[in-house]
Structure 1
Amino acid sequence: MELAHTDTAEARVITVGEHRIDAAIAISFKDRMRELTDGGPNRVIVDMTQVDFIDSSGLGAIVAALKQVGPDKSFELAGLSGTVQKVFKLTRMDTVFTIHPAIDIALGGPVADVG
């Protein structure tokens, strides 16, 4: 499970380095997200630009990550491909998550590594 993170002045950006979030990696995704969202800024943005497939297990893992951060943090998604976006719309998860078209739009400018 390849997840990388960068902290900006306002958020922790977690970049998913996988093309698929499915049953094969859902558990490791949840575990790694727990590690990356403990502590850090109160705004978490998951950059899913590289993800082109998600199944119900992957969707469940993303929902679990949302629940893990709790109500005191903002958990947002960015860069959903057309296919992934369809899954979110069909399951109405697009009403649960804040979804940005791209990570730079989510941050209001280019990502800068500050830590």
Structure 2
Amino acid sequence: MITVHHLEDIVEITLGGPRVDSVVAPHLKVELEQAVINAPRKIVLDLAAVDFMDSTGLGVFVSLLKKLGPNGAIAVTGVQPAVLRLFQLTRLDSLFRIVDDIPAARALVRG
């Protein structure tokens, strides 16, 4: 479901898509939590393969952000139009940094 690359100061996580919904969310949450154990608190999430997400999927990402604590950062890239609309409707686009590509996401979480 996910592919994880540990860079020196960033964890890059690519979701295999195409849906992040109530069926997938519990398993995804476990995978994400395992991916960030003892890892840097800076995460790049690549959602390019995800064309549908519901509120349970967003909940997984909010939970991950909370686990990272105040020094954590998540940049989201590859967001498809339908998924972007969900981020905007829930106003979570102000909480998650949404950018166009992976290099921009890396630069953003590095500060």
- 1:41 to partner: Cα distance: 2.1
Answer yes or no: is the 8 Å Cα contact 1:47–1:78 preserved in 2.
Answer: yes
Counterpart check, 1:21 vs 2:13: no
Instruction: Find the aligned partners of 1:68 and 1:28 in 2 and give their Cα distance.
Output: 17
How many corresponding residue pairs? 107
Residue by residue over 1:20-56, the C-alpha shift from the partner in whole angstroms, topping out at 9 and shown as x without a partner, is: 1000011111111110111122311111111100011
Instruction: Find the aligned partners of 2:61 and 2:7 in 1 and give their Cα distance.
Output: 22
Answer yes or no: is the 8 Å Cα contact 2:65–2:72 preserved in 1.
Answer: no
- Deviates further, 32-41 or 81-90: 32-41
RMSD: 1.3
Answer yes or no: is the 8 Å Cα contact 1:38–1:69 preserved in 2.
Answer: no
1:11 is matched with which residue? 10
Instruction: Find the aligned partners of 2:16 and 2:38 in 1 and give their Cα distance.
Output: 22
Give the alignment's TM-score, normalised by structure 1: 0.85
Give the alignment's TM-score, normalised by structure 2: 0.88
Secondary structure of the residue that 1:46 maps to in structure 2?
A: strand
The runs of at least 4 aligned residues of structure 1 exceeding 3 Å deviation read none
1:71 is matched with which residue? 70
Instruction: Find the aligned partners of 2:19 and 2:66 in 1 and give their Cα distance.
Output: 21
Secondary structure of the residue that 1:80 maps to in structure 2?
A: coil
- 1:67 to partner: Cα distance: 1.1
Alignment of 1:91-106 (within 5 A): 91-106=90-105
Instruction: Find the aligned partners of 1:68 and 1:27 in 2 and give their Cα distance.
Output: 16
How high is the sequence identity, in percent, across the aligned residues? 31
Point out the structure with the larger helix share.
Answer: 2
Instruction: Find the aligned partners of 2:88 and 2:66 in 1 and give their Cα distance.
Output: 19
